[in-house]
Chain A
Amino acid sequence: MQVDEAGGVVMPVTHVANFALPAALDVFCSQAVETMAPGDNLVALVEYGPAEVDTPLFERRGVPRRLRVADFSPKSLNRTLPDQVGYQEFATEAGRAFCLYVVLAGRQAIGRSVQDVNAVLSTLVLEPR
């Protein structure tokens, strides 16, 4: 964890994508999503601090490992761009608070994209600090 000058705590973030991500990437990849082409997938797993653990927003037990096509919506995006759908969920796992955010580009092949994302999520191992 890093603490910035003002006291903000920079928590770990994992970004997984099947397209090239830029070196300078913000937490929810709000600029990188501009470059997504149909079939591109982006997964961001963002950890939050101890203050968020087990709060009502993070009350779900366990980060989802298996998503359905119906879980995605063009409204569920930090930044709404054409032909993209998103998914966001807050959860507590291993005593740690997380936000899972997924962006898929290209609605034609969304079933395949969800399978690819689930494949990645199935490998996810979160352990207590």
Chain B
Amino acid sequence: MVHQVLFIVFGLICVAGAINLLVQRHPISSALSLVVVMASLALIYLLLGAEFVAAIQVIVYAGAIMVLFVFVIMLLNAGAEERTRGSRIALLVGVPGVVVLAGTVGWLLVTGSQQLGGVTIGATNFGDTHTIARFLFRDFLLPFEITSVLILIAIMGAVVLGKKEN
């Protein structure tokens, strides 16, 4: 019961933040709504027993990536969004497509929800740092090393692209 109330509260905060991201005109308000979405998602991860993922969601996503977004918005200082015409293809094909897709998925989930089971807070060795580290550095060692190379490439790309032309 407490579980469900918590999920509904944080789920509503997530959806409200996401809708606020669409509705706001100035990108800084959209960025701050996205931070709220990420923070409530971190709390939902705690409800799912994923404590390490919740911690790194706050540290990496809300605390580093979104700070970068806020920096760029403050630095460029471009102001509120102006109303231009927009892409007609996106409106004609994209919006109905998403509505159909999301509606189908939602209908399937609602009608089939009897078959799917429940989700509870797990016991001690699920989602804790020891177990995740064991998987990350043994079974998933190759993807780990490849992502480190990926980050190196991204750093070099960002430095080169960000340089001023003299």
Chains A and B form a bound pair = no
Residues of A near any B CB (own CB < 8 A): none
Residues of B near any A CB (own CB < 8 A): none
